[in-house]
Amino acid sequence: MERPAPVAVFGGTFDPIHFGHLRVAWEVSEQLDCEVRLMPSAQPPHRSAPGGSAADRAAMIEMALAGQGRLRLDRRELERTGPSYSVDTLLELREELGPDRPLIFVLGADAFRALPAWHRWQELTGLAHLVAMTRPRQRLDKLEPDLHNAMAGRWTGLVERLRGEPAGRVMVIRVTPLAISSSLIRASLAEGRLPRYLLPQPVLDHIQARGLYR
Ligand code: ATP
What ipTM score was computed for the predicted complex, to two decimals?
0.97
Span from the CA of 179 to the centroid of ligand 1 (angstroms):
10
Residue boundaries of the structural domains of the chain? 7-178
Q: What pLDDT sits at residue 161?
A: 96
| Whether residue 43 has pLDDT greater than 80 | no
CB count within 10 Å of CB 93 equals 20
Q: Please report, rounded to a whole number, the percentage of residues in the chain having pLDDT higher than 90.
A: 88
154: Cα within 13 Å, side-chain hemisphere:
22
Q: What is the pLDDT of residues 59-103, one digit of tens each?
A: 999 999 999 999 999 999 999 888 889 999 999 999 999 999 999
Amino acid at 158: L
Q: Which residues sit with their C-beta closer than 6 Å to ligand 1?
A: 12-15, 20-21, 24, 107-108, 110-111, 133, 135, 178, 180-183
Give the CA distances from residue 12 to residues 3, 77, 177, in Å, rounded to whole numbers and listed in that order.
28, 10, 18
Nearest residue by C-alpha to atom 25 in ligand 1: 20
Nearest residue by C-alpha to atom 15 in ligand 1: 12
Q: What pLDDT sits at residue 27?
A: 97
Span from the CA of 1 to the centroid of ligand 1 (angstroms):
37
Across the chain, what does the average pLDDT equal?
A: 94
Span from the CA of 55 to the centroid of ligand 1 (angstroms):
19
User: Is the CATH number 3.40.50.620 carried by domain 7-178?
Assistant: yes
